Structure 1
């Protein structure tokens, strides 16, 4: 099925139809990719320490498991550079189809791995390699999905359209948590033996669905126009670092206000709750589902408000909420009272969700069309590499100080740095004229 279209002859109705397709493709495709990415995080907290990093010290096993988790984050900037080049040279759509396939195949292969006891150290090496592939694919996914949806956005809806990529994150968390929770329920004691494989193997079905949807989307009007006018950058990755080094740094810092609290309040919280507080695993994964629903609603409303008022103001509000919740989150969580645990995680995610809503459009608006895929991907994914140490760092801080206070301070510092960074971000020249009308 060909998706080549003449953008200049599109009616308003046809343009809106293509915009909806782009939004759906961003939502579904990114949901599938993040499903795989988050699934690894949940299993790194619940299953992988004993399965792939066996030893006498649970603390060391958990650190090693989260180190494998971090490999995916470290790979994301590399994926951003690689796919950013092709996204700005060949096209947004074709690149996104490739990232989707890479993520899905890597996840399926993780589900087929034998345990350490069966295969030895080579199995652990393969786990880390497949995690690297996941991160490499995710590195090109986010920026391309954001750019495709934002460049197709109708006037005055750039924030909301960009949030289609953002809202995919909590939907994926809801989906992965739901599948894990259902699998725990169905397999019982066998979950840690073979049941954990099921959620990974399910991902290949989701990838096929996403592949079909993405094939039906046309490339953005901006990329098509640049290609026709021969305005494509020959070295987009080099050019974006050369022309926008300060912007890249500011985007890295700005993204901390979403990534750091998200991984502390989800991935680390699962490990902390199950290992330190002895809270039932299924209760925690069910709570993640509630948290996901809360974040979906917050992201969409925050994105809508960013179109109506001001993106930066909405971002500041979200970062401040995280600062205010940094200590109360653990106070409530440590009670081990079911209602208060759910309340803690639900309230804490509001800050990250409010930041995440306008973040996609905010970042995309900082780069010109010819460098937008590379700039958006690199800035966000370099930040992700920093954010990825959060679960591992939190385990270290908790074990070293025997207190969650240093973790709360970490959350506050990350949020304040992000506020300063966003205050200094500026739109790219001719940004509004460059976007779809």
Structure 2
């Protein structure tokens, strides 16, 4: 099947979507368990706040490991090929996630339990750190130039799709009584990842290597140490791309992880209600991202991203007002407003970054930009949100201000990138390091 080049763009986009869906499913079930389960099972305390903080700490560990994954697999992807790197990342993620499902808890293993949890969480972080850049490039580099922004966005669709699967998995065990859920029910979503792993590897095997990478490999123009070239020649663009990604990365974990804990513990809302609301919003996110990639391809990625970041700055204020009512419809509308603004940026950023760097170092460059952002903005956001909620009890305006500041960082960095090279946002020229 891989000898049919006319079908490769569609197959590559599908493989990127399925692969990242599986990776994000694994990541999201950990996030959900960290918000609802792990604090009690692995970090028991008389004060729920400290248990939650410790649980979100292990959540952050996975983000801190992501730059390492981006560095290692970015190097491999730029040296030996995107496809081989992606098979490895998917396998590591699957093994790490299934392993979590079989872990002993603190009650039965003491300090060994959280230590093992952290170790497997690091494996997850390394895997997804290497996965994202390769999936984006396999979709984007197979695509025609005039469709790159749209087809590269398919890799980003894995985030809402993985969230939908994760919420379905946890919703299916949420009906269990408390004892069953905390004894064995929480393990099932993790163990089920083994089935998804097999499916993902089968689909990914049907896609050929990136034609752009094959071309520079045939010309013997691959970089010996791509990350050194990136840091020497394009460190400013890396930092700007890092900042441009903040709202897409931090916003997702603010809404899907911190808000899950905030609504259940601070507002006292029912766990099942919030999971149902997030489930509905995940479908809205999926279709919003698909539409965003299509629309941005026509109006210009940079222009679209600027508008999305500006709207994201305004979005948390109506969200908190609506969520604070405790009414299901208001909760869905409030969260959906924020998610639509956030995910519009997230969807388009993949193609935008693909055009920012030369092929020979592209895997390393976009991986280090995105994954360092993930380590800082994604890993720390739930922790900082929890601290703000604790320090300002009953007040949501500091949380809204925090979110607006995150969006403001992205807005500034996107604007600077546009000023440096306006045509790059339309995919016409690279921002840095021409071939």
> Could you state the TM-score of these two structures normalised by the residue count of structure 2?
0.94
Q: Distance in 2 between matches of 1:409 and 1:310?
A: 29
- Paired residues in the alignment total 424
**SS state of the match for residue 45, structure 2?**
coil
Alpha-carbon contact 1:255-1:383 (below 8 Å) kept: yes
Deviation at 1:424? Answer: 2.1
Q: Distance in 2 between matches of 1:430 and 1:390?
A: 34
**Which residue is 1:100 aligned to?**
90
Q: Once the two structures are superposed, what CA deviation does each residue of 1:313-336 show, in whole Å capped at 9, x if it has no partner? A: 211222122211122211111111
**Which residue is 1:392 aligned to?**
383
Structure 1 residue 422 corresponds to structure 2 residue 422: no
Q: Distance in 2 between matches of 1:16 and 1:46?
A: 46
Q: Once the two structures are superposed, what CA deviation does each residue of 1:286-310 show, in whole Å capped at 9, x if it has no partner? A: 1111111011111111111111111
Q: Distance in 1 between matches of 2:407 and 2:224?
A: 36
**Which residue is 1:205 aligned to?**
195
Aligned ranges 1:133-282 → 2 under 5 Å: 133-185=123-175, 189-282=179-272
Find runs of 4+ consecutive structure 1 residues off by over 3 angstroms.
186-189, 426-432
Deviation at 1:401? Answer: 2.2
Alpha-carbon contact 2:13-2:151 (below 8 Å) kept: yes
Structure 1 residue 336 corresponds to structure 2 residue 317: no
Q: Distance in 2 between matches of 1:288 and 1:322?
A: 18
Unaligned stretches of 5+ residues in structure 2: none
From 291, 309, 333, give the equivalent of 1:319.
309
Deviation at 1:185? Answer: 2.4
Q: Once the two structures are superposed, what CA deviation does each residue of 1:380-427 show, in whole Å capped at 9, x if it has no partner? A: 010001121000110011111222222211111111111111122243
Q: Once the two structures are superposed, what CA deviation does each residue of 1:257-282 show, in whole Å capped at 9, x if it has no partner? A: 21122111110111011111121111
Q: Distance in 1 between matches of 2:194 and 2:177?
A: 21
**SS state of the match for residue 185, structure 2?**
coil
> Could you state the TM-score of these two structures normalised by the residue count of structure 1?
0.94
**SS state of the match for residue 157, structure 1?**
helix
Q: Distance in 2 between matches of 1:382 and 1:87?
A: 18
From 16, 20, 45, give the equivalent of 1:55.
45
Structure 1 stretch displaced more, 330-339 or 228-237: 330-339
Q: Distance in 2 between matches of 1:313 and 1:92?
A: 29
Q: Once the two structures are superposed, what CA deviation does each residue of 1:333-389 show, in whole Å capped at 9, x if it has no partner? A: 111112111111112101111111211000111000001100011100100011210
